[in-house]
């Protein structure tokens, strides 16, 4: 089955700096890679996703890159703000076909220091 590894487990950055979180996956058939943000005591919420036919996607201060050959993808947050502090989860899934199990990474706790 799919295995997703996520690094680092914790990350502290100064406000205004950039943050990068990296994930690798094992199943080359995975073709959908979402990122979720979970604030303390809240549900995980989708912040950005990328499909395997795209190498990069950007949404304001957030961007995700995907390297299918190396089977890794990364989340980039620029100009970090204190409200970016949360736990971030990457995930890998097969987005079509009958079997759609979603496998999550172990999470990265991001702390943005004002």
Partner 1 sequence: GAGVSQSPSNKVTEKGKDVELRCDPISGHTALYWYRQSLGQGLEFLIYFQGNSAPDKSGLPSDRFSAERTGGSVSTLTIQRTQQEDSAVYLCASRPRTGSGNTIYFGEGSWLTVV
12 near partner 1, rule: CB under 8 A: no
Do the bridges between strand 4-7 and strand 19-25 make them parallel or antiparallel, or are there none, so unpaired?
antiparallel
112 near partner 1, rule: CB under 8 A: no
Residue number with CB closer to partner 1 (33 or 80) = 33
List CB contacts of 68: < 8 A, sequence separation 6 or more. 28, 52
Q: Contacting partner 1 (CB under 8 A), which of 35, 66, 92, 105? A: 105
| CA–CA distance, 32 with 39 (Å, rounded to integer) | 23
Q: Contacting partner 1 (CB under 8 A), which of 17, 26, 100, 113? A: 100
The residues facing 35 across adjacent strands are 48, 90
96 Cα distance to chain centroid: 20
Q: Footprint of partner 1 on residues 15-34 (CB under 8 A)?
A: 32, 34
Residue number with CB closer to partner 1 (74 or 93) = 93
Least Å distance between CB 71 and partner 1? Answer: 18
Provide the 8-state DSSP code for 82: G
86 near partner 1, rule: CB under 8 A: no
List CB contacts of 20: < 8 A, sequence separation 6 or more. 74, 75, 76, 77
Q: Applying CB under 8 A, which residues contact partner 1? A: 1, 32, 34, 36, 42-46, 49, 51, 89, 91, 93, 95-107
């Amino acid at each position: 089955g799919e295995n997703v590894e996520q690094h680092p487990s914790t990350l502290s950055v100064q406000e205004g700096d950039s943050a990068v979180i990296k994930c690798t996956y094992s199943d080359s058939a995975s073709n959908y890679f979402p990122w979720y943000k979970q604030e303390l005591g809240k549900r995980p919420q989708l912040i950005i996703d990328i499909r395997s036919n795209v190498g990069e996607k950007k949404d304001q201060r957030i961007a995700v890159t995907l390297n299918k050959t190396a089977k890794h993808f990364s989340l980039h947050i620029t100009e970090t703000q204190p409200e970016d502090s949360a736990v971030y989860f990457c995930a890998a899934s097969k987005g079509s076909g009958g079997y759609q199990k979603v496998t999550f990474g172990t999470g990265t706790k991001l702390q943005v220091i004002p």
